[in-house]
Amino acid sequence: MGTTPDGGHQLKPGLKQRHLTMLSLGGVIGAGLFVGSSAIINQAGPLAFITYAITGLIVLLVMRMLGEMAAAKPCSGSFTDYARMAWGEWAGFSTGWLYWYFWVIVVGFEAVVGGQMINKWIPSIPVWAIALTLMMVMTAVNLLSVGAFGEAEYWFASIKVVAIVAFITVAALFVFGLWPGARVDFGNLTDHGGLLPNGLATLFVGVVVVIFSMTGVEVVTIAAAESAEPAKSIRKAVNSVVFRILAFFVISTFLIAVIVPWDSVVPGESPFVAALDRIGIPGTADLLNLVILVAVLSVLNSGLYTSSRLLFVMGGRGDAPAWMTSTNKRGVPVKGILSCTVVGYGCVVLAALFPDTVFLFLINASGAVFLFVYFMICISELRLRRRWEKENPGGLEFRMWLYPGLPILVTVAIVAVLVSMGLRDANRIELMQGVAVWVVLTVIYLVEKRARTARGSRALDTARSADVETPPSPVHPS
């Protein structure tokens, strides 16, 4: 998949299996786990880890469905192409732009969060300046080559995984009385109002919040198209990564609930720091803040990669400007990357100027948008599975379990989460703003479709008029 010296229209296979594995981890393990888990523990109580288990199971099954489609027909557009194959042009157009919207907003948001963190250490530099600098650094990494991006993401994700494994190891030793001065005591699970102090419903309501902390694992199916063996890479990544993520989220949350009383966890403050302080390890706050900063850079890196590849694919499908498909001699879609960074820079500026209005709207709308994408993945698999099995009598090599019953159940679960967002005051605005974004994209699609039809009609009329034979000129005698 090479390119011509003056640019071409091909991505280059520069990602290795270890890059893909860490890439999918990198988009998931972030502030949503290190800090966001505080809100779930405070809301659901000691059994908050069950909320993570339920959510992780939903994500696992969605990924299995996506993996089935991606292994059967690997393509850079991943689920946007599958939505198009299953439900037509509108589905591909809207799913692609919804996912692109989600990631470019995340890029801007993560840059601002990174700026806020570094500003605490260096208050003399304003947040917006730090955020723009982080954007520029990550842009440079993405512009080098897909291999440079993959290598950066590999090390970012490795640091996060090592941090979580170290936490689980230390916390488990403490919980089971193997840490100096520790004794076995599971009293915190029952001594502060019981296992379900706020009721059974809180375990399921929390899914609305938790599912957003697990976003990003699907990036691997987009990145796999730039690997040497796409189908093999997808199978390995889907099978291994999701189970590891489930283990990280569930085990770490359980250990925190055992070590720290659930009602002492403050939303917005890292429960990991609280647990390590209880164990007696000094300097944990600064150390964890450094890990969270790495997590921010990791998500920023993944976001730029994912959004630029989507523009590349949508440009080839006619859903974005055709110049988005041009690549340099290293197979990097430079114009697509720069276009995404422009939006990211815009988000940083909006965060500085309108933090409580425009920027807040963008962030709130992106939450429900991701669930819409999950919904489209589910209904696309339900439709394509039957079609592809007829085309391949030998069967698909990577399959979703218990089709069609389990895929239908997962689809219903996604719809239930969306409905619960509409019923909860805290999440209703996110759902409404997400719907508004989808409606706007639908209107844009209809307008563009009408314009394309009009252009096609004019071109056909021009061709017909050119085919009309011009009558011969009369011959005059000399």
Give 416-422's long-range contacts (Cβ < 8 A, gap of 24+).
Answer: 417/207, 417/208, 417/211, 417/371, 418/368, 418/371, 418/375, 420/204, 420/205, 420/207, 420/208, 421/208, 421/368, 421/371
- Whether residue 8 is predicted with pLDDT greater than 60 in this model: the reply is no
Confidence category of residue 5, pLDDT binned at 50, 70, 90:
very low
60-63's contacts with Cβ under 8 Å and 24+ in sequence apart are 60/242, 60/243, 60/246, 61/400, 61/401, 61/406, 61/407, 61/410, 62/218, 62/374, 62/377, 62/378, 62/410, 62/414, 63/217, 63/218, 63/238, 63/242
User: Given this model, what pLDDT does residue 227 score?
Assistant: 67
Q: Is residue 147 part of a domain?
A: yes
Name, of 87-96, 225-234, 428-437, the range with top average pLDDT.
87-96
The pLDDT of residue 2 is above 60: no
Q: What is the pLDDT of residue 408?
A: 97
Q: How confident is the model at residue 67 (pLDDT cuts 50, 70, 90)?
A: confident
Residue 462 lies in a domain: no
Residue 470, pLDDT above cutoff 60: no
d(Cα 359, Cα 365) in Å, to the nearest integer?
10
Whether the per-residue pLDDT at 1 is higher than 70: the answer is no
User: Which comes out higher in pLDDT, residue 213 or 52?
Assistant: 52
Query: Can you give the pLDDT at residue 472?
Result: 56
Q: How many degrees, rounded to 5, is the angle at CA 153 between CA 27 and CA 16?
A: 105
Helices then strands, counting H and E runs in the chain, come out as 18, 0
Residue 365 has pLDDT above 90, yes or no: no
pLDDT of residue 210: 84
Instruction: Please check the confidence at residue 141 and state whether its pLDDT lies above 90.
Output: no
Q: How confident is the model at residue 466 (pLDDT cuts 50, 70, 90)?
A: low
Is 464 within a domain? no
Q: Kindly report the CATH number assigned to the domain that includes residue 140.
A: 1.20.1740.10
Q: Is residue 142 part of a domain?
A: yes
Contact 434, 372 (CB under 8 A): yes
pLDDT computed for residue 384 by the predictor:
95
Q: How far apart are CA 322 and CA 318, in angstroms?
A: 7
Q: Please indicate whether residue 249 or residue 268 has the higher confidence score (pLDDT).
A: 249
pLDDT tens profile 234-250? 777 777 767 777 778 99
User: Among 156-160, 202-206, 228-232, which range has the highest average pLDDT?
Assistant: 156-160
Residue holding tokens 């972030």? 30
Residue 10 has pLDDT above 80, yes or no: no
Q: Would you say residue 370 lies in a domain?
A: yes
Whether the predicted pLDDT of 349 surpasses 80: yes
Q: Is residue 267 part of a domain?
A: yes
pLDDT over 50 (residue 342): yes
Structural tokens at position 275: 């647990």
Length of the chain: 478
pLDDT digits (tens, 9 = 90+) for 16-48: 767 776 766 665 777 778 888 888 999 899 999
pLDDT in tens, 375-433: 999 999 999 999 998 888 777 888 899 999 999 999 999 999 898 888 888 778 888 98
Q: Report pLDDT for 185.
A: 92
- 463 versus 125: which is more confidently predicted? 125
Find out whether 27 and 219 touch, Cβ atoms under 8 Å: yes
For residues 381 and 410, is the Cβ–Cβ distance under 8 A? no
- The tens digit of pLDDT for each residue in 281-321 reads 888 878 888 888 898 888 888 888 888 888 888 888 889 88
pLDDT at position 12, please?
A: 62
Q: What single string gives the DSSP state of each residue in 326-353?
A: -B-TTS--HHHHHHHHHHHHHHHHHHHH
- Asked if 373 and 95 count as a contact pair (C-beta separation under 8 A), the reply is yes
pTM equals 0.84
The domain tally of the chain equals 1
Spatial separation of the C-alpha atoms in residues 105 and 346, rounded to whole Å:
10
6 band by pLDDT with thresholds 50, 70 and 90: very low
Task: Say which DSSP state 395 is in.
Answer: -
- Domain-embedded: residue 380: yes
Cα angle, residue 20 at apex, residues 15 and 21 outer, rounded to 5°: 150
Calpha distance 115→354 (Å, rounded): 16
CA distance 396 to 382: 14
What are the backbone angles phi and psi of residue 8, rounded to the nearest 5°? -150, -155
The neighbouring-strand residues paired with 455 are none
Give the mean model confidence (pLDDT) for residues 259-269: 91
Whole-number average pLDDT of the chain: 84
pLDDT of residue 129: 92
Would 8 be classed as within a structural domain?
A: no
Instruction: Find where tokens 């409905």 sit.
Output: 419
| Tokens of residue 44, six digits | 């659901």
Range of the domain at 23: 17-391+402-453
- The pLDDT, as a whole number, for residue 3 is 39
Contacts of 277 (CB under 8 A, 6+ apart): 284
